[in-house]
Amino acid sequence: MVHCLTNSVVQEITANVLLAAGAAPAMVSHPEEAGEFAAAADAVLINVGNPDPPVLEAMRSAVAQARRRNIPWVLDPVAVGGLGVRTRFAVELLDQKPTVIRGNASEVRNLHVAHEGSDAQGGRGVDSTDDPESALEAGRALAALTGGVVAISGPTDIIVSGGRVTRITGGDELMALVIGTGCSLGAVTAAYCVAAGNPYDGAAAAHVAFSGAGALAAKVSAGPGSFRNAWIDALYNGSNALPALCEIEEGE
């Protein structure tokens, strides 16, 4: 059961993707209920894409319960750097030691520079203008700061924590034309952290599943609409076949 406090635009696809991946979604966002529900969940997703004041209060309550009960939680710093409220809030949450930070290269870089008190250096809304390799050092710094895992999404996904780095290449360009692929990846990362038994392997497995499913879906799709459905089907049906559709490189 993944408690998703997430962007209203992506709630439907996030719920469907979690179900396809074998998890159960819930999206309790009332400030007086969010903490109570988080305490009963197996994992929590905090996606800052819709930072209304009541939602921020609900997120703080959910994170506090996750920390209190040692429940894995994922921070998705959507469009951090370009907008002040969400950037300050995401920096605030770094003190709460997210289990995994999952974002594109610009979001990861901007989260790091904002924590250091510098100005944003890239990004255009939710879109990255940076290459994942350019965010590697920022990812290392955030992993050291939080003691957790940082997952940088892009044409090649990079998972980093401590002295370990994994690069996963796969997917398809159509993924960028479907709303919610990145946001739902944060939710599945939370689920896989529980299923895998540790956050690094969970984050890596989630990115392999998404990349492999993207490559598989692209083979039978005519465009973004059919790709969306084929991609969700691939997540549901693909399982053991998906890693073979990616290039996976382990390093330090």
28 token code pair: 């309790």
Query: What's the pLDDT at 162?
Result: 87
Helix (H) or strand (E) holding 70, with range, is none
Q: What is the chain's length?
A: 252
Element (H, E) at 216: helix 199-218
* 178-202 pLDDT tens trace: 999 999 999 999 999 999 999 999 9
Q: Which fold has domain 2-251?
A: UDP-N-acetylmuramoyl-L-alanine:D-glutamate ligase (3.40.1190)
pLDDT of residue 120: 58
Span 208-219, average pLDDT = 96
Is residue 1 a known part of a binding site? no
Cβ-in-10-Å burial (0-12, 13-18, 19+) of 176 comes to middle
Percent of residues, the chain, with pLDDT higher than 90: 89
d(CA 109, CA 139): 7
Q: Alpha-carbon distance 100 to 55, whole Å?
A: 20
Q: Round to whole Å and give the CA distance between 79 and 195.
A: 28
Task: Give the pLDDT band (50/70/90) at residue 241.
Answer: confident
Helix (H, G, I), strand (E, B) or coil at 220: coil
The reply to whether 118 sits in an annotated binding site is no
102 is an annotated ligand-binding site residue: yes
User: Residue 77: is its pLDDT beyond 60?
Assistant: yes
Grade residue 127 by pLDDT with cuts at 50, 70 and 90: low
> Higher confidence at residue 148 or residue 131?
148
Q: What mean pLDDT value characterizes the chain?
A: 94
Average pLDDT over residues 212-226: 96
pLDDT of residue 123: 45
Report the distance separating Cα 207 and Cα 224, nearest Å: 20
**pLDDT at residue 28 greater than cutoff 80:** yes
pLDDT digits (tens, 9 = 90+) for 135-175: 999 999 999 999 999 999 999 999 999 889 999 999 999 99
Is pLDDT above 60 for 133?
A: yes
194 close to 202: Cβ distance less than 8 angstroms: yes
Spatial separation of the C-alpha atoms in residues 245 and 220, rounded to whole Å:
14
| 175 labeled part of a ligand binding site | no
SS3 104: strand
Count, in order, helices (H) and strands (E) of the chain: 9, 9
